[in-house]
Structure 1
Amino acid sequence: MASIGLFEASISLFCFLIFYYFLINKHYGNLLIKKYLQSCPWNWPVLGMLPAVLMRFNRIDDAIYIIEKTNLTFLFKGPWFSRMDALITVDPANIHHILTSNFSNYVKGPEFKEIFDVYGDAIFNTDGELWKNLRMSFQVILHQQGFQNLSLSVTTSKLKDVLLPLFSHYSEEGTVVDLQDVFRRFMFDISLISITGSDPQSLSIEMPEVEFAKAFDNAGEAILFRHVIPKFLWKFQRWMGLGQEKMLLEAGATFDRICAKYIDAKREEIRSQGIDHDHDHSNGESEDVLTSYIKLDTSKYELLDPSNDKFIGETLLSFIFAGRDTTATAITWFFGLLTKNPNVEAKIRQEIITNLPEASQERSWSASDHKEYLNKLVYLHASLYEAMRLYPPIPFERKSPIKSDVLPSGHKIDANSNIIIPIYALGRMRSVWGEDAWEFKPERWISETGGLRHEPSSKFLAFNSGPRTCPGKHLAMVTMKTVVVEILQNYDINLVKGYKIEPKPRLALQMNHGLRVTLSKRSSA
């Protein structure tokens, strides 16, 4: 077995060195890229299709042509002995089969968990009964009226007291602002307050670097790196403590240390207040996520242990990643698209004026009627969905079958093989969304009667599909609508002239170089 492992390692290293030569040789590299962009990915001897992926690593849109040309499903071949082969599919019938109708056969799997090991047993990293227990607890906590009240209160407070005054400052100074950085900081702050009860205050004029937030960024970058190189290479880096793997190890240490600090402080707070662990909060009393998990009723979740700080810490990471990265990404792309589609922005503004005439900076949102008000903003809802169709916060989904299977498309797949669903590409498939699939067109979500049109989640995967549908979907939509309404009522946003918006491959689909804009206060606000 040792000789086989050494042979595999040697082949992988040899493959990498060959490809690296082409990467650093500008003449040959340019010739290869030019040739590749004019054709489908080829299956190189030894190297497989890995060069094709790396050449297109920062050219996401180019890869869509390949998927369309292969009838929505094709087999990616990785380097020999690398175990990187994967079935790539955006066929809605296949997606429904994998994520819904045959859900029990398709899991994250041990390889996925190994790649995301820094997050431990986070909900997006688990399968089976543990996942079911986590899912049930997530749903209970997120749907408690007390937590929803807290989330709304924190969001509106941060808007009124921090975000809008900051925008006012930028507007008066004529400062160019990176909205992507602003929204990531804004969502990080409100997520931490709602989850731990502590405010990191990362959003301010000074824009301080926050160690915890930086650790999430570094972890995401390293995990993406693991997806596109042979396991041997990142394992070697980890063993040597080099590059991306060193960064990931440091991020993990930061997660452990800071989560432990939050958990210790919260346990002490609960002890000092003498709160009964079985206290019922269904009456609407506000309670952050950390408090809820420390006081979790273990009789309902036999695999969850609130006395275990490791479990609590990994649960915190799940909530923070979901609350900060996905929502901030969606809002960033939404405003980026608005800067290029003034007609859509005008319709949203008019809808706000028509349905929320009393909603102004001076008016405090009522928790009881807030959701009812926002439900009237159908065109805004459609516009947010349309932004997430084109730029899904999580750009791909990865699965592995327990048993061999045949997909509706006729493709046979082996047990423990890799399946990748590129959600970003799915939103641009003309055969799925029509000839105008690349257009930002919120009207596609509006029914003939003026209501919101339903599209199956196998077509629109922004909130996943089937049993793993995001439990915080409705809360995320309320947060995004609240933020959009306040900003559009008070400010005009203009993209810096000549600035190009393009995606950046990450676990959450960020903008390359951010979203640079100028702000001007609306006189009518």
Structure 2
Amino acid sequence: MHTRDHNVNRVLAARDAHLHSTLPLYYLCLRAGYRSNNPAVLPTNWPTLHMFPSFVANLHNLHDYFALVLAGSGHNFRAHGPPGTGMRLFVTCDPANIRHIFTTNYTNFPKGAEFAAIFDIMGGSLFTIDGELCRQQRAKVKGVLSSPWMVARIAACCRDKVENNLLPLFTNMESIGTPFDMQEMMSRFMFDLGATPLFGVDPGLLSSDMPPMDVAVAMDTVMEAGFFRHVVPASCWKLMRRLNIGPERKLRVAHTMLRGFIVDMMERRKINTCHIGNDEEQEGVDIMSPFLNDPDYANDELAHAMIIGYMLAARDTVGTTLTWIFYNLAQNPNIVSIIRNELSPIASTKVAARADAMVIFEQNETKYLVYLKAVLYETLRLYPPAPFERKTVAADDIMPSGHELGTGDTILISLHSMGRMEGIWGKDCLNYNPDRWLSEDGNKLRYVPSHKFLAFNSGPRMSPYEVC
């Protein structure tokens, strides 16, 4: 009986301690949330907790919050977490600082071990590594993806998916007046388009029966948990992982789901490869072939990490961008008219089966369309698929803005904010205006340096997935 009473007292004491510690934090978060409604107010540097309450209060809308703060702080600000958390942040969208970080002194700003820990399921892949290993793997990936055979293969997969799945679904839904979620549709489309050339097998997520999106949801969980790990102290999410609670519990389930999917697709790939002639097999029937045949990439964990990294890069970047393009076209019918006029000369050369039949454009037919590219770039400016980049300071340094950074500091580069800065893009920075990308005569794209437009990264880490 005595032991039971003792345990009850311990629970009550723990509860009281929890209330005493969380209620002040809750109050500060409410105050921080109230103050954040005023764009002119920078994050309050509270005693002990520093700016942490402001971040927590705005976690649901952190990218827009950063844009407000950066607009009022000259494109740069510092932030610190509570003592003992090791959170020393420098947040920037300053093009001069970005050029310094990504190009001028890029070796001093690796992604770092903490970034690799945050996205541990992609550990060892191009997404998380630095230095010479990154250079070698990047060269390998770029060589595979840019080979004429692979470019043709990906283009064929894209055409097939558009012609036989996407357009028939759109036509059917339009004919019966069925509403649909464009974001979900683009997610399904890019999931299949990422996986098919990767494995040589179509997972069939974009089909008339609309199968469950469990694997795609697992990919969302990886990115959501990664965002959570970015903005809380490492000790916090590591404790949650050890206790298997909160976002870490969902992440563990997602890891299992993704690895199971890869094993299944690799088995289907083997079966598919057995039915292909020797000549085609030697050339490589999919993106994975050159890696699986290379001893440097024979490790299963590394192969899984690279597959997940590639699929996230394909689905999240293009799928998100396509969704925002369609959204903005719906808001701007005049832009749709300009695109139609640009496509019209090409369309006139095609013979449709029926007067109302859809016309499909080939990659080589659209690659030189200037205004269509301007629409893409304007979408990426305002709605970058990766809203921020994270870097670690390897050695003490001074930014072009004059800010002094210490070894171990974390830098957050806000791409979302950069596209919304009047000092970078002018007074109409919040307007969706593809014309800003055109030369005066409108016949070519205006040059914009990558440290001002970071959608494809910059410097030595320029994205190997960029398609011109």
Relative to the length of structure 2, the TM-score reads: 0.89
Is the 1:266–1:291 Cα contact (8 Å) retained in structure 2?
no
In structure 2, the residue matched to 1:502 is: none
Identify if the C-alpha distance between structure 1 residues 216 and 319 changes in structure 2 by more than 3 Å, giving closer, same or farther.
Answer: same
In structure 2, the residue matched to 1:453 is: 446
In structure 2, the residue matched to 1:43 is: 45
Task: State the shift of 1:278 in Å.
Answer: 10
2:80 is matched with which residue: 77, 80, 102? 77
Task: State the shift of 1:419 in Å.
Answer: 0.3
Larger radius of gyration: 2
AA in 2 matched with 1:343 = N
For the residue of structure 1 that corresponds to 2:127, the secondary structure is helix
Task: Note the alpha carbon deviations across 1:91-116, whole angstroms, 9 max, x for none.
Answer: 10110110111111110101111111
Tell me the distance in 2 between the aligned counterparts of 1:269 and 1:173.
Answer: 37
1:369-388 alignment, distance < 5 Å: 370-388=362-380
Task: Note the alpha carbon deviations across 1:115-138, whole angstroms, 9 max, x for none.
Answer: 111222221111122211210111
Task: Note the alpha carbon deviations across 1:346-370, whole angstroms, 9 max, x for none.
Answer: 111111113442357658879xxx4
Alignment of 1:395 with 2:387, yes or no, is yes
AA in 1 matched with 2:180 = V
AA in 1 matched with 2:348 = P
Task: State the shift of 1:255 in Å.
Answer: 2.4
For the residue of structure 2 that corresponds to 1:333, the secondary structure is helix
Task: State the shift of 1:472 in Å.
Answer: 1.3
1:311-460 alignment, distance < 5 Å: 311-359=302-350, 370-449=362-441, 450-460=443-453
Task: State the shift of 1:204 in Å.
Answer: 2.6
AA in 2 matched with 1:169 = N
In structure 2, the residue matched to 1:463 is: 456
Is the 2:394–2:407 Cα contact (8 Å) retained in structure 1?
yes
Tell me the distance in 2 between the aligned counterparts of 1:140 and 1:157.
Answer: 24
CA RMSD for the aligned pairs? 2.5
In structure 2, the residue matched to 1:472 is: 465
Task: Note the alpha carbon deviations across 1:415-440, whole angstroms, 9 max, x for none.
Answer: 12100001000001111111111111
Tell me the distance in 1 between the aligned counterparts of 2:383 and 2:44.
Answer: 27
Is the 2:191–2:315 Cα contact (8 Å) retained in structure 1?
yes
In structure 2, the residue matched to 1:293 is: 291
Identify if the C-alpha distance between structure 1 residues 235 and 423 changes in structure 2 by more than 3 Å, giving closer, same or farther.
Answer: same
For the residue of structure 2 that corresponds to 1:86, the secondary structure is strand
In structure 1, the residue matched to 2:33 is: 33
Task: State the shift of 1:261 in Å.
Answer: 3.0
Tell me the distance in 1 between the aligned counterparts of 2:352 and 2:187.
Answer: 22
Tell me the distance in 2 between the aligned counterparts of 1:233 and 1:52.
Answer: 17
For these two proteins, the number of residue pairs brought into alignment is 444
Task: State the shift of 1:274 in Å.
Answer: 8.3
Identify if the C-alpha distance between structure 1 residues 156 and 113 changes in structure 2 by more than 3 Å, giving closer, same or farther.
Answer: same
Identify if the C-alpha distance between structure 1 residues 54 and 129 changes in structure 2 by more than 3 Å, giving closer, same or farther.
Answer: same
In structure 1, the residue matched to 2:120 is: 117
Is the 1:37–1:62 Cα contact (8 Å) retained in structure 2?
no
Tell me the distance in 2 between the aligned counterparts of 1:22 and 1:205.
Answer: 50
Please state which structure has a larger fraction of its residues in helix. 2
For the residue of structure 2 that corresponds to 1:76, the secondary structure is strand
Task: State the shift of 1:185 in Å.
Answer: 0.4
Identify if the C-alpha distance between structure 1 residues 227 and 454 changes in structure 2 by more than 3 Å, giving closer, same or farther.
Answer: same
In structure 1, the residue matched to 2:187 is: 184
Tell me the distance in 2 between the aligned counterparts of 1:17 and 1:377.
Answer: 56
For the residue of structure 1 that corresponds to 2:59, the secondary structure is coil
For the residue of structure 2 that corresponds to 1:200, the secondary structure is coil
- More deviation, 139-148/126-135: 126-135
Identify if the C-alpha distance between structure 1 residues 277 and 381 changes in structure 2 by more than 3 Å, giving closer, same or farther.
Answer: closer
Alignment of 1:237 with 2:228, yes or no, is no
Alignment of 1:310 with 2:305, yes or no, is no
Task: State the shift of 1:208 in Å.
Answer: 2.0
Is the 1:263–1:313 Cα contact (8 Å) retained in structure 2?
no
Task: State the shift of 1:20 in Å.
Answer: 5.7
Tell me the distance in 2 between the aligned counterparts of 1:316 and 1:269.
Answer: 18
Is the 2:200–2:272 Cα contact (8 Å) retained in structure 1?
no
In structure 2, the residue matched to 1:57 is: 59
Tell me the distance in 1 between the aligned counterparts of 2:325 and 2:20.
Answer: 41
- More deviation, 357-366/48-57: 357-366
Task: Note the alpha carbon deviations across 1:235-275, whole angstroms, 9 max, x for none.
Answer: 22111111210111111122222223333444566578685
Alignment of 1:132 with 2:118, yes or no, is no
Alignment of 1:172 with 2:175, yes or no, is yes
Identify if the C-alpha distance between structure 1 residues 275 and 399 changes in structure 2 by more than 3 Å, giving closer, same or farther.
Answer: farther
AA in 2 matched with 1:47 = L
Task: State the shift of 1:471 in Å.
Answer: 0.7
Tell me the distance in 1 between the aligned counterparts of 2:205 and 2:275.
Answer: 28
Tell me the distance in 1 between the aligned counterparts of 2:281 and 2:323.
Answer: 40
Is the 1:400–1:416 Cα contact (8 Å) retained in structure 2?
yes
For the residue of structure 1 that corresponds to 2:457, the secondary structure is coil
AA in 1 matched with 2:211 = P
Task: State the shift of 1:14 in Å.
Answer: 8.6
Is the 2:36–2:65 Cα contact (8 Å) retained in structure 1?
no
Task: State the shift of 1:166 in Å.
Answer: 0.6
Task: State the shift of 1:276 in Å.
Answer: 8.4
Identify if the C-alpha distance between structure 1 residues 237 and 16 changes in structure 2 by more than 3 Å, giving closer, same or farther.
Answer: farther
